Amino acid sequence: MTKTPHLLKNSLKFPQPELEPVDTTVAVATAATPTPSGTRSDLEPGPRGRKPARRFSRRNLFIYGTLTLVALYYLLPLYVMVVTSLKGMPEIRLGNIFAPPLEITFEPWVKAWSEACTGLNCDGLSRGFWNSVRILVPSVILSIAIASVNGYALANWRFKGAELFFTILIVGAFIPYQVMIYPIVIMLREVGLYGSLTGLVLVHSVFGMPILTLLFRNYFASVPEELFKAARVDGAGFWAIYFKIMLPMSLPIFVVAIILQVTGIWNDFLFGVIYTKPDLYPMTVQLNNIVNSTQGVKEYNVNMAATILTGLVPLSIYFLSGKLFVRGIAAGAVKG
């Protein structure tokens, strides 16, 4: 929730219609006119044509060298995790954390998923996974549905008090979570939702509201105003314009919102531990309990496997909605 991945940068605005397409007849006409070819013999000796680029220039070596180093630096922990999770405990006790496993075993993964003990129950991370899914799906849908309508109303229907409403919402984004934790506990208790998944879904939806509304408002504000006017002349009302005009061309911003919300809510720990009870804990809380509360021997391989399992959802979201994916639909919004 705190940072916008750089790969989403270009999808925050409605793509402006490109300039006039070049008239093809003109292109044909120029192609047909005889042009002097590049290999004329009456050129002066010396440089001609495209300037050759050096592949191993000092600049290139520096750039790619640095990039490789930084990439390795970030990939190393992942490597250690994967390798450790595939080793048995005796092999881990040898202490060489960088060594590849001599004997590959998937037992730590099975144990992390379905056998590891957290507190009273011993059914591994699977319980937390399903809890997280049950929190994630409704929260993402609810928060994005509300925020997109909010943003649309704020950007296109400038109702009385819209500016004030928006300001309050944005100020809300800057209030530290800690300030609001206890009041929310009381509010949820009063309506009888404290300790339930519904309560947590509501909390996630509310906390996603400022940033998501801002995101959608800015996107809808960058949609040409005349499009909105044309739809009004065509007799479309508030919801018809939202569903038939705005929604079909805002896929990029919805993808951005989904990425933000999925990673944000999946990675949440604080709200999960406060607003739910042990058998409803999300995966992150359970991961923490597995890693921190085991008695006796630290099972590093199980911990590593559990951590990777927990991180798989945000990881796969990034892979699925990478640059190409976002670009693809961003282009689709104009090109159809």
Partner 1 sequence: MEPSISIRNLSLDFGSLRVLKDLDLNVGQGEFLVLLGSSGCGKSTLLNCIAGLLEISEGQIFIGGRNVTWEEPSQRGIGMVFQSYALYPQMTVAGNLSFGLKNAGLPKAEIAARVDRAAKILQIEPLLDRKPAALSGGQRQRAAIGRALVRDADVFLFDEPLSNLDAKLRADLRVEIKQLHSKLKNTMIYVTHDQIEAMTLADRIAIMRGGSILQLDTPEEIYLRPNCRYVANFIGSPSMNFFDGRIEGGDHLRFVSGSLNLPLAGYAFADPQGARPGPATLGIRPEHIVSGAEAEAAAISLTAEVDLIEPLGSDTFARVTLDGSNLWIRLDGQARTRPGDRLVIGFAPERAHLFDLDTELRL
d(CA 14, CA 223): 5
Instruction: Choose between 44 and 226: whose C-beta lies nearer to partner 1.
Output: 226
d(CA 252, CA 220): 12
Site string for partner 1, 26-65 (x = CB under 8 A): ----------------------------------------
Asked whether position 189 contacts partner 1 by CB under 8 A, the answer is no
* Minimal distance, residue 14 CB to partner 1, in Å: 9
Asked whether position 277 contacts partner 1 by CB under 8 A, the answer is no
Instruction: Choose between 181 and 333: whose C-beta lies nearer to partner 1.
Output: 333
Q: For residue 205, give Cα distances in angstroms to 30, 92, 135, 257, 313.
A: 58, 42, 10, 12, 19
Instruction: Choose between 46 and 235: whose C-beta lies nearer to partner 1.
Output: 235
Which residues, 106 to 125, sit near partner 1 by CB under 8 A? none
d(CA 98, CA 303): 17
20 token code pair: 């006039």
* Minimal distance, residue 243 CB to partner 1, in Å: 12
SS3 284: helix
253 residue type, one letter = I
Count of other CB atoms within 10 angstroms of residue 180: 15
285 token code pair: 């809380």
Residue 268: which of 326, 183, 181, 189 has the closest Cα?
A: 181
Q: For residue 44, give Cα distances in angstroms to 34, 36, 39, 49, 52.
A: 22, 15, 12, 12, 18
Which residues, 209 to 248, sit near partner 1 by CB under 8 A? 224, 226-227, 229-236, 240, 244-245, 248
Site string for partner 1, 5-24 (x = CB under 8 A): ------------xx-xx-x-
* Minimal distance, residue 163 CB to partner 1, in Å: 12
Which residues, 294 to 333, sit near partner 1 by CB under 8 A? 333
Instruction: Choose between 22 and 32: whose C-beta lies nearer to partner 1.
Output: 22
Instruction: Choose between 192 and 328: whose C-beta lies nearer to partner 1.
Output: 328
- The dihedrals phi and psi of 226, each to the nearest 5 degrees, come to -65, -30
Asked whether position 335 contacts partner 1 by CB under 8 A, the answer is yes
- Interface positions with partner 1 (CB under 8 A): 17-18, 20-21, 23, 224, 226-227, 229-236, 240, 244-245, 248-249, 333-336
